[in-house]
Amino acid sequence: MSISLSLTVNGKKVDADLDPRTLLVEFIRNNLRLTGTHVGCDTGQCGACTVLVDGVAVKSCTILAVQASGSSIDTIEGLAAADGTLHPMQEAFKDCHGLQCGFCTPGMVMSAIDLVARHPGADEATIRAELEGNMCRCTGYHNIVKAVKQGAAAMGK
């Protein structure tokens, strides 16, 4: 049995027929081949699979792809401009060394974009609290917080 799905991913219309049990993260990675969205824990604990669904950060391992039907999905691959210019938050993570191994980075960047949209001018405590659902095993978060502040400033937030 399959079910029809229609949504927009990184600005492009996508239609597919898939197993109704397919998770959004599986659809993004396996069907669309957008592998920047990582599978970390499969339980919603780590945040490596975070994408924006209609502008809101969502852990894509926690929802079925069909639940996102009709929505606009943004993944890490859709942030940079067509000419390769990085999104201000991506640039800030690079400049501030807000990554080490890079595994958590796509989810962290997507969460940070949502965070600054909801909390413009957020202080360190707010940033740390908001990113609690995104685990980084390498950096200790100091440079991630710095990157979110710099990214927010560059985004005019």
**Per-residue confidence band for 157, with pLDDT thresholds at 50, 70 and 90:** confident
Domain segments of the chain: what residues?
A: 3-76, 88-154
What would be the CATH architecture of the domain defined by 88-154?
Orthogonal Bundle (1.10)
Percent of the chain with pLDDT over 70: 100
Query: How far is residue 125's CA from residue 134's CA, in Å, rounded to a whole number?
Result: 15
Q: What is the pLDDT of residues 124-153, one digit of tens each?
A: 999 999 999 999 988 778 999 999 999 999
Amino acid at 157: K
The tokens 């710099």 sit on which residue? Answer: 150
Q: What is the pLDDT of residues 54-82, one digit of tens each?
A: 999 999 999 999 999 999 999 999 999 99
Query: How far is residue 108's CA from residue 155's CA, in Å, rounded to a whole number?
Result: 16
Query: 3-76 adopts what CATH topology?
Result: Ubiquitin-like (UB roll) (3.10.20)
Which letter does DSSP use for residue 26 in this model? H
